Structure formats: C-alpha cells, structure tokens
Amino acid sequence: MISLLNYINGSFVAAQSGETLPVFEPATGLAYAHAPVSAAGDVDAAVAAAKEAAREWRQTSAAERAGWLHRLADGIEKRMEEFARAESRDQGKPVSLARRMDIPRAVDNLRFFAGAVLHDRQDAFDTDRQAINYVLRKPLGVVACISPWNLPLYLFTWKIAPALAAGNTVVAKPSELTPYTAYMLSEWAHEIGFPKGVLNIVHGYGGPIGDRLNIHPDVKAVSFTGGTATGARIAAQAAPLFKKLSLELGGKNPTVIFADASYEEALSSAVRSSFTNQGEICLCGSRILVERSIYDRFLKDFVERVRQLTVGDPQHDDSRLGALVSEAHLNKVLGYVQLALEEGGVIHCGGQRVIPHGRCAGGWFMEPTVIDGLPNQCRTNQEEIFGPVVTLQAFDTEQEALELANGTEYGLAAGLWTSDGSRVHRMSAQLDFGIVWVNSWLLRDLRTPFGGMKSSGVGREGGYDALRFFTEPVNVCIKY
C-alpha cells in the first residue's frame, strides 16, 4: 500500500486529522494507496505557506518562472512511461492513451505557459496626445486550482502552469479519485528544490477542502474544472466574496454529420469522439446527429465499428476502452442505460457491465453502448452521462440539426461534419458552443480560448486568456 502525503511549504505532511482515504485501481477494483483526508486546517496551512511564498515569487522574472516550469516538465518527460502507467492504474484509462495523450500533454502545458509568459504583451493607449495609458498585469497572489479525475495530470498542469507562470502561488487540489500523478509531480518538485510554498498540493474529498478554499480570504481566484453542480456550489460560495472564478463544467456535446461529409472520416472520428477514455472526456460527443438520408447506413456501420472495440485490461496495448473510474460511476452510467430503456430507447450494442478474466475480474468495465429512438428532450439526451454511452438521432434540415444541437442546457463543444464551406460558416456562427470542431475532433491548439457557455461554464482557459485570468490589470494613466 502506497501512502500519499500533502505537499505544503515544500514538505510532505499527513492530514492534520491523520485520516486517509483509499485510492483504487479501477481495473481491479482494489485499493493500492491511501491519500490524506484534508480539511480546513490543512487548507489554512497551505494558503498561509502560499501567501508567504508569494512575496518573493511575484518578484521573480518571467524567465525565472519559465525556467522552473521547464524543470517541472523535464521530470515528467524523463519518467514518461512511469507517469503513463501510474495514470492508467489510477484512472482506468488504457496505458496507450496515457502515453499518447495525457502525459505528453502535461509536459506541453508546462512548456507552453513557460513560453507564453515570455511572449506576453501589454497594451498601451495614447489619449489624444495628452496622456499615455499603459496596462500593468499584476499576479493575484494565492490562487486555488481544482481539477477532476478524467484527465488527472493533464488538467492539473493545465491550471497550475498559467497560474505559476503569471507569478501566483498555488494551492492545488487533485481529485480524490485520481491523486497519484499529482503526488508524483510533488515528489519531483521537491527533488529539484522547487521554491517552498509556491506550489502546494492538498489531497482529500472535495467538500471539506473546497468549502474552505472557496471562502478563504487569502485565496484570490478559484480555477475549477469539474461537474456543473460543483461549479454552482463554488460560485455560490466564492462570488459574494468577489473572487475571480474560472469554471470549466460539464457537457452534452453534439456531433452533427451531414450527408455531404467525408463518410469514412466522419464515421471513424465519431467512434473516437464517443469512446476515447471510456467516454470520460468533457469533450466527447455524446449525441450524434445524422442527416436522415444516410442515417440507416451510418447507424449500421457505426454499430459494427463499436462492436470491434476491445474493452479490457488498460495495461494491454490492444485495449481501446479501460475501466470506468469508480464503482459508483459505473453504476451511474449503467443506470442511464436502464433509464434509456424506460424512455423507449433501442439499444443497438453494449449496455452491460464487462467482467474480464484474470487480474481485472473485479474491475469496473462496461461495454461501449449505442442507443437510438429517443427524443431530444428526454433525460438520456439532456443529462451528462460521462461514460461509454452515445445516442443517435436523425435530422432533415440544417435548421433542425441546429435546434437539436443547441437544445440542451450545455454548450461546451460541437462537432460538425460537412464538405459545404458556406454551411460551415453558417452553422459555426449559430452553434452555442465554446468550441466548434469542423471535420475534426480534439484537435487542440493551446493558444485558443478553451471553455464553454451556458451550463458548461464561465470564462476561458488557454493561451493569453489563462494569463489574463490569473492577473489583475492596472491602468496607469500618465499625462504629458
């Protein structure tokens, strides 16, 4: 059993209560580590350390901070395989995916913001040749970075990198379900002598830690990625205290496929966007909308491809889907399959738990599931399932496709498949989503604004948007 510890003020410490929680390997259903159950006192200690460290860190040059981010990235890069295996064990995802996507992206996040802060620019305004205004960007001080379990190190670094690059000190909280790679990063930070108190990592359940972080007077901003209900709770606590908030929340993303799209590309991409990471990516397309003239053919071909996806031990290179993150989540997703049946849906494949042979017999696996025959307004098509379950619906016109796509409370990402250039522009302007992927999926440029609208969140991450979020602008007006 591995014992994880909080990382506060450059030291590894247990929770003040001494309590721990079990950390499970989803592929086996067995606990392999313990993490501290931190509460208000631990958060207070981390915030106090971060506040003290902020005095010096905010005075460092951008080049110095960039150097530290690169050194953090070096540690992940050097131990890429170890990080990938650890992420797969902790989260349930295939190790091949962690190797290809999660861990390289964590390195990219750190290196990207190390570069971005060196190339940031400031605005200046000449006022009728009487005054010059320029804009100073000051770090906020102590900021909270709260991340979810689906892309653990990927989203953890996506937050801490811009926060640190902009000159803030951080209290970070990884998900209690997947704390391991953040812990590995703290070990590496310690090894390279990362400045004390600049990066603090507090482990444990979200409620007690979040409830303190969200209202702590010395925490100036909360950058959160997670569920919409948690985001609403954070906003209710932090907004009256005028903290800056960045909330990246849930989604119910449509993939809209027109008959004039490149059929094979749309088909294979739809399989990927539905089931990568067991459907546990906020950007997965969970509602596939297909033009009626190709609907039957598409459904048949799609189901055939999905049936070929291998579910199994995430350590095996041929497993396309690993285990779901927890037993509770598996039961929630299976519950949605039951609900879909009650709502009149037709299950074309999947719908059942998978029990592999051997070491993974106790793991939380599920078949990739394809459902149709449901109206857009039913719960299955409205609520975020966040698992390997996708629905299909047919549409006749562009207008109908738009209404179906926009017809949920969420607005994170939409996929659009067509070869008609005019339609691309018409539809993109009317789809109420923070990201529109045209003839592509998960093609990311870290400079672009990333985030959702409606119940999918408030604010944008990525590029200069993230550096703006983590700084306070000051207008200096000089009369001449």
Catalytic residues, which ones? 248, 282
Taking alpha carbons only, the member of 323, 331, 265 closest to residue 298 is 265
Site for ligand NAD (CB under 6 A): which residue of 96, 200, 214, 273? 214
Residue 210 makes contact with ligand NAD by CB under 6 A: yes
Cβ atoms of 251 and 226 within 8 Å: the answer is no
Site string for ligand NAD, 401-440 (x = CB under 6 A): -----------x----------------------------
Placement of tokens 């811009």 in the chain: 162
- Using CB under 6 A, pick the residue from 251, 254, 279, 350 that binds ligand NAD: 251
Q: What residues numbered 20-39 form the site for ligand NAD, per CB under 6 A? A: none
Q: Which x/- pattern over 342-381 shows residues binding ligand NAD (rule: CB under 6 A)?
A: ----------------------------------------
Q: How far is the CB of 179 from ligand NAD (least distance, A)?
A: 9
Give yes or no for residue 102 binding ligand NAD (CB under 6 A): no
Stretch that binds ligand NAD, among 206-214, 294-302, 305-313, 351-359 (CB under 6 A): 206-214
Rg of the chain's alpha carbons, rounded to an integer? Answer: 23
Binding positions for ligand NAD, 445-464, rule CB under 6 A:
452, 456-457
Helix (H, G, I), strand (E, B) or coil at 59: coil
The H or E element containing residue 289 is strand 285-291
Residue 143 Cβ vs ligand NAD, minimum distance, rounded to whole Å: 13
Stretch that binds ligand NAD, among 134-142, 207-215, 296-304, 355-363 (CB under 6 A): 207-215
> What sign has the CA pseudo-torsion 383, 387, 276, 326?
positive
Q: Is residue 230 involved in binding ligand NAD (CB under 6 A)?
A: yes
**Tokens matching residue 3:** 């014992």
Q: Count the Cβ atoms, other than its own, within 10 Å of residue 446.
A: 19
Q: In the complex with ligand NAD, which residue's Cβ is closer, 110 or 209? A: 209
| Cβ-based nearer residue to ligand NAD, 142 or 266 | 142
Tell me whether residue 397 or residue 440 sits nearer to ligand NAD (CB atom).
440
Measured distance CA(267)–CA(178) in Å, rounded: 32
End-to-end CA distance of the chain: 68
Q: Which C-beta is closer to ligand NAD: that of 266 or that of 330? A: 330
Among 68, 112, 149, 295, binds ligand NAD (CB under 6 A): 149
Instruction: Find out whether 25 and 55 touch, Cβ atoms under 8 Å.
Output: no
Could you tell me which of 289, 251, 221, 314 has the C-alpha nearest to residue 453? 251
- x/- letters, 273..312, toward ligand NAD (CB under 6 A): ---------x------------------------------
The CA distance from 399 to 67, in Å, is: 51
Query: What is the closest distance, in whole angstroms, from the C-beta atom of residue 235 to ligand NAD in the complex?
Result: 10
Nearer residue to ligand NAD within complex by CB, 269 or 286: 286
Residue given tokens 């209404």 in the structure block:
403
Contacts 24+ apart (CB under 8 A), 380-384: 380/336, 380/339, 380/340, 380/343, 380/345, 381/252, 381/287, 381/408, 382/252, 382/408, 382/409, 383/252, 383/336, 384/227, 384/228, 384/250, 384/251, 384/252, 384/286, 384/410
CA distance linking residue 399 with residue 272, whole number of Å = 26
DSSP at 278: G
Tell me the number of residues near ligand NAD by CB under 6 A.
31
Q: Is residue 227 at the binding interface for ligand NAD, with CB under 6 A as the rule?
A: yes
Identify which range of 4-12, 135-143, 204-212, 462-470 contacts ligand NAD by CB under 6 A.
Answer: 204-212
Residue 219: strand, helix, or coil: strand
Instruction: Tell me which residue has tokens 């590309």.
Output: 265
Q: Does 176 bind ligand NAD (CB under 6 A)?
A: yes
Q: Scan residues 47-66 and list those touching ligand NAD (CB under 6 A).
A: none
Does residue 235 contact residue 257 with C-beta atoms inside 8 Å? no
Of the two residues 368 and 387, which places its CB atom closer to ligand NAD in the complex?
Answer: 387
State how far the Cα of 471 lies from the Cα of 417, in Å rounded to an integer: 38
Contact 401, 423 (CB under 8 A): no
Among 36-44, 127-135, 164-172, 229-237, which window interacts with ligand NAD (CB under 6 A)?
Answer: 229-237
250 near ligand NAD, rule: CB under 6 A: yes
Q: Using CA atoms, how far apart are residues 230 and 248, in angstroms rounded to an integer?
A: 11
Tokens matching residue 43:
């958060």
Which position among 25, 291, 384, 465 is part of the footprint of ligand NAD (CB under 6 A)?
384
Unique residue bearing structure tokens 């997947």: 178
* Member of 88, 169, 200, 225 binding ligand NAD (CB under 6 A): 225
In angstroms, give the least distance from the CB of 291 to ligand NAD: 27
d(CA 267, CA 308): 14
Residues within the interface to ligand NAD (CB under 6 A): 146-150, 155, 173, 175-176, 206-207, 210-211, 214, 225-227, 230, 233-234, 248-251, 282, 384, 386, 412, 452, 456-457
